[in-house]
Amino acid sequence: MRFAFPLIAVVISILPALAQAAKPNFVLIFIDDMGYGDIGPYGSKVNKTPNLDRMASEGMKLTSFYAAPVCSASRAQLMTGSYAPRVSVPGVFFPAGPKGLNPDEWTIADYLKAEGYATTCIGKWHLGWDWDAIKKKGAKPTQAGKRKVWGPEAFDWNKSIPDGPLAHGFDHYFGDTVINFPPYCWIEDDKVPQAPDTLMATSKWKPIKEGSWECRPGPMHSSWDPYQNIPETTKRGVEYIHKQAKTKKPFFLYFAFPSPHAPIIPNDQFDGKSKAGPYGDFVYETDDACGQLLRALEESGQADNTVVVFTADNGPEKYAYARDEKFGHWSSHPLRGLKRDIYEGGHHVPFIIKWPGLTKPGSVSDALVSQIDLMGTFASALNYKLPKKSAEDSHDLLPVITGESCTARNTHIHNTFADKFAIRDGDWVLINFWDGYSSGRNKGWEERHGYPPDDKSRPELYNLKQDIGQKHNLAKQNPEKVKALQALLEKIQKQGYSAPRLVNK
């Protein structure tokens, strides 16, 4: 790796100061289906986000930060420091599907726990549970409309549900696992406080405010109200932060919002807070909840020793096309693509970090970085040596965060499905497929935004420095660059790692 030796020197200069300080707390705020252009710090004029605006003014904003283009894969990368295909994670873990993330995978929570941290996950998990372990012997699915689904009677709800967050380094968990997947009830640690007693029926809830419910059928507790998700999880997060102030343990809080993912259900007090309809109001409610967590850190006296990270799992859902037409607000602005797409809008997301003593207030970095890098970065700050077979693709971002370096990595791989990859190297992006869409092409959007007709050529090549919106395919003019990027992609895939500590071993 061309940057290996300068980075080693920089890290050596940082680590002594970090080692002398008390171990920092880590609060990782993870948003669901939020576009690059959906919040104030990234240019939104219609979605009000005063709390995130303030966080950006007090910390650092990164403008070239990458997640994965879809939910479970993104969470796997975040937790393991490895590209999702390396840890055998599909795009999405579906309800009542196979077991989730392999418990043998080393996660951020695993090593922070080993370092003496209290570890808690609140909100959306979406890395699987072993539901078969609590399924009753001889249970059979029930008919729900045209589908056969597992009803509440098929499970022994008194049993612990294995292979959830507690199997991946977390001391505690509270949430509903995935807001639009069964079971529709709270899960606390590895059990349900109130057992599901009916099948999910959206008719029992207040009307949806935009789009559709997108809720899969399955077990539900009869009192379940999805509108209470953000209020209740935020309350739990605030309580946890205040509680930790009374202990001597550093803590890691992974707070994963269900919003602004569908169902788009802002609570009534947030209606009309934006100029982008219910979705914008949902963004506002999410910002309000973030503000409550940040204030809890200040009120409890822990803000000065807590690293806060705000980012998202992938780009916005397909409703963004209608929103762009109706309100003139493009959630991915200035990028092309949505969730699932390997165009930039599918995985190029906001990232704000506030690291007291390290980040310069109001600073901005255009360094190429990834969610995969948080694992290596936190480990570096604690002078923790990661096991050899872990975090295979994680780089150390401390030099970027402190402003001592303008880069930490030069390459990043994007992937949605088994055969659909893209790779960024420097300013160049290769879409190694027919196109970068997976959520479908919207010709009306392309025409409104000045995109040329599809030339149906494979692959596609773009220079982001000159063309951040990926309008002009340069593959035919640059065949050698295409071949070089294809070779680099294949090399990184086959060698099984790209982290500098493994490349330079």
User: So what's the pLDDT on residue 103?
Assistant: 84
Same domain, 281 and 417: no
Which of 105, 102, 101 lies closest to 125, judged by CA?
101
Which of 315, 497, 307 lies closest to 409, judged by CA?
497
Q: What does each of the 505 residues of the chain score in pLDDT, given as a tens digit?
A: 222 223 333 344 444 445 445 899 999 999 999 999 999 999 999 999 999 999 999 999 999 999 999 999 999 999 999 999 898 886 666 666 657 888 889 999 999 999 999 999 999 999 999 999 999 999 999 887 778 899 999 999 999 999 999 999 999 999 999 999 999 999 999 999 999 999 999 999 999 999 999 999 999 999 999 999 999 999 999 999 999 999 989 999 999 999 999 999 999 999 999 999 999 999 999 999 999 999 999 999 999 999 999 999 999 999 999 999 999 999 999 999 999 999 999 999 999 999 999 999 999 999 999 999 999 999 999 999 999 889 999 999 999 999 888 888 999 999 888 788 999 999 999 999 889 999 889 999 999 999 998 877 889 999 999 999 999 999 999 999 999 999 999 999 999 999 999 998 7
Residues 6+ apart with CB under 8 A from 370: 65, 66, 67, 77, 393, 395, 409, 412
Mark which of 273, 308, 337 sits at the end of a domain. Answer: 337
Element (H, E) at 65: strand 60-66
Q: How far apart are CA 328 and CA 312, in angstroms?
A: 22
Which of 308, 309, 328, 312 lies closest to 320, judged by CA?
328
Residue 199: inside a domain: yes
Same domain, 172 and 73: yes
User: So what's the pLDDT on residue 169?
Assistant: 97
Residue 332: inside a domain: yes
Report DSSP letters for 120-182, one per residue. Answer: EEEEE--S---GGGGBPTT---EEETTEEE--GGGB-TTS---SSGGGGT-SEEEEEESTTSS
Which of 156, 82, 159, 94 lies closest to 127, judged by CA?
94
User: So what's the pLDDT on residue 78?
Assistant: 97
| Paired tokens of 335 | 């990028």
Same domain, 299 and 430: no
Residue 416: inside a domain: yes
* 57: region left, alpha or beta (phi > 0 left; psi from -120 to 50 alpha): alpha
* 78: region left, alpha or beta (phi > 0 left; psi from -120 to 50 alpha): alpha
Q: Which amino acid is at 162?
A: P
Residue 10: inside a domain: no
User: So what's the pLDDT on residue 458?
Assistant: 87
CATH code, 61: 3.40.720.10
Pairing outcome for strands 172-177 and 118-124: parallel
Residue 301: inside a domain: yes
Same domain, 333 and 472: no
Residue 428: inside a domain: yes
Mark which of 290, 306, 337 sits at the end of a domain. Answer: 337
Angstrom CA distances, 155 to 124, 204, 373, stand at 22, 23, 39
Domain of 38? 26-337
Which of 397, 395, 310, 312 lies closest to 346, judged by CA?
312
Residue 299: inside a domain: yes
CATH code, 455: 3.30.1120.10
CA atoms 320, 323, 328, 331: torsion sign: negative
Mark out the alpha helices in 449-478 (DSSP H runs): none
Same domain, 151 and 271: yes
The owner of tokens 């500098």 is 500
Residues 6+ apart with CB under 8 A from 435: 441, 454, 460
Domain count of the fold of the chain: 2
User: So what's the pLDDT on residue 6?
Assistant: 33
Mark which of 286, 305, 337 sits at the end of a domain. Answer: 337
Crossing angle (nearest 10°) for helices 50-58 and 277-299: 50
Angstrom CA distances, 2 to 243, 294, 325, 366, 459, stand at 45, 38, 44, 18, 27
Same domain, 433 and 329: no
Same domain, 327 and 419: no
User: So what's the pLDDT on residue 80?
Assistant: 96
For the beta sheet containing 411-417, the strands, ordered from the edge strand earlier in sequence to the opposite edge, are 411-417, 420-425, 428-431, 460-463
User: So what's the pLDDT on residue 88?
Assistant: 84
| Paired tokens of 80 | 């393991």
CA atoms 430, 435, 438, 444: torsion sign: positive
| Paired tokens of 296 | 């809890």
Which of 303, 290, 350, 318 lies closest to 437, judged by CA?
318
Same domain, 67 and 207: yes
Mark out the alpha helices in 163-253 (DSSP H runs): 229-244
Pairing outcome for strands 187-188 and 411-417: unpaired
Residue 393: inside a domain: no
Which of 287, 356, 279 lies closest to 323, judged by CA?
279
